[in-house]
Amino acid sequence: MNRGVSTLDFILRLIAIMATLVSAIAMGTTSKTLPFITWLIRFRARYNDLPTFTFFVIANSIVCAYLVVSLAISILHITRSAEQGTRVILIFFDTAMLALLTAGASAAAAIVYLAHKGNTRANWFVICQQFNSFCEHISGSLIGSFGAILLFTLLILLSSLALSWH
Amino acid sequence: MNRGVSTLDFILRLIAIMATLVSAIAMGTTSKTLPFITWLIRFRARYNDLPTFTFFVIANSIVCAYLVVSLAISILHITRSAEQGTRVILIFFDTAMLALLTAGASAAAAIVYLAHKGNTRANWFVICQQFNSFCEHISGSLIGSFGAILLFTLLILLSSLALSWH
């Protein structure tokens, strides 16, 4: 039973690696998707014009790198399913990475929301009318991150189940 | 040993209840702290002018209510320290609440950052020059939330330790 859980853990980590990698790359390459409007508008919209998006890329990259390293421990759990200490360590770091990823994703979501809706009270204008494909691109790049957040919640649940079954 | 961990769990939950409650109240009452500038400016700054801050208050309220309910399970763990199933359930809901709280706090932090620094590329202006005490108040209300995020990480670690010691 624990071996099955450990295998599922390994597969979910692989999917989460993909999700965070795609998110980081999608956001990080946003500037390059808009070459055709570069000459029409006053400036070129890039993800790092907004510090929140830079933080998003960094958070996704760190989490992705962590997930790659954690694969080694996941494989250890498949071969030696009685391990307890490493599972606790994995739960701790998974939790920390979940918090980092959620922070990056929801901060970016707050700015994307503002770019779409604007705020009349604060005199912050909608910028998605001018930068339509830029906005679509950054909105899309959030999907991978939010998917990975769900995967992390599942990973922590699986690890705690494996601990309780021991 | 497990009884000690369960008692610490209970105490940390009490502190987290305080932290999220203070955060929710501090943000939710922001409008009332500015009566003296109401007549001087074009509009009165309130937390619910920005949807992100409304989400922040809702997220903190939900997490605070959850923590109050979870105290019952925490007491159960002090009296019956061999419980396994309820610990797994607690880890799962703690993880979900950690994600909700982090989402609320970091979305609000992104907007507070924007209010302080503005963004010249997106033509979003600094609003903290006009609303200085409003900005101080909303910045301060984030502290409780970020404190509670750290407490949740500790709570999940403690629960998984208790599971591994069994």
ipTM above 0.90, yes or no: no
Helix (H, G, I), strand (E, B) or coil at A121: coil
Interior angle at CA A136, CA A61 and CA B59, nearest 5: 65
For the cut 50, the answer to whether the pLDDT of residue B98 exceeds it is yes
Among the listed residues B163, B113, B40, the one whose alpha carbon sits nearest the alpha carbon of residue A161: B163
- Of B95, B103, B164, which has the smallest distance from its Cβ to A153's Cβ? B95
Q: CA of B159: which chain A residue's CA is closest?
A: A160
Helix (H, G, I), strand (E, B) or coil at A72: helix
A129 in Cβ contact with A85 (< 8 Å): no
Among A residues 19-58, those touching chain B with beta carbons less than 8 Å apart:
43, 45, 49-52
B4-48: pLDDT as tens digits: 899 999 999 999 999 999 999 998 887 644 444 544 444 556 777
A61 in Cβ contact with A97 (< 8 Å): no
A15-19, A100-104, B111-115, B144-148: segment of lowest average pLDDT: B111-115
> CA–CA separation, A151 vs B163, rounded Å?
22
B55 in Cβ contact with B107 (< 8 Å): yes
A66 in Cβ contact with A81 (< 8 Å): no
A31 in Cβ contact with A44 (< 8 Å): yes
Greater model confidence, B114 or A47 = B114
Greater model confidence, A32 or B30 = B30
Beta bridge partners of residue B124, listed in sequence order: B119
Expressed as residue numbers, the domain containing A69 is 2-165
Closest approach of chain B CAs to the CA of A160, in angstroms? Answer: 6
The reply to whether residue A160 touches residue B110, judged by beta carbons under 8 angstroms, is: no
The reply to whether residue A99 touches residue B104, judged by beta carbons under 8 angstroms, is: no
Among the listed residues B115, B74, B121, the one whose alpha carbon sits nearest the alpha carbon of residue B93: B74
Q: Look at chain A and report how many structural domains it folds into.
A: 1
A37-47: pLDDT as tens digits: 544 444 556 77
Distances from the Cα of A30 to the Cα of A23, A52, A53, A54, angstroms: 11, 14, 10, 11
The reply to whether residue B95 touches residue A98, judged by beta carbons under 8 angstroms, is: yes
Beta bridge partners of residue B119, listed in sequence order: B124
Predicted pLDDT of residue B36? 47
Among the listed residues B18, B6, B7, the one whose alpha carbon sits nearest the alpha carbon of residue B68: B18
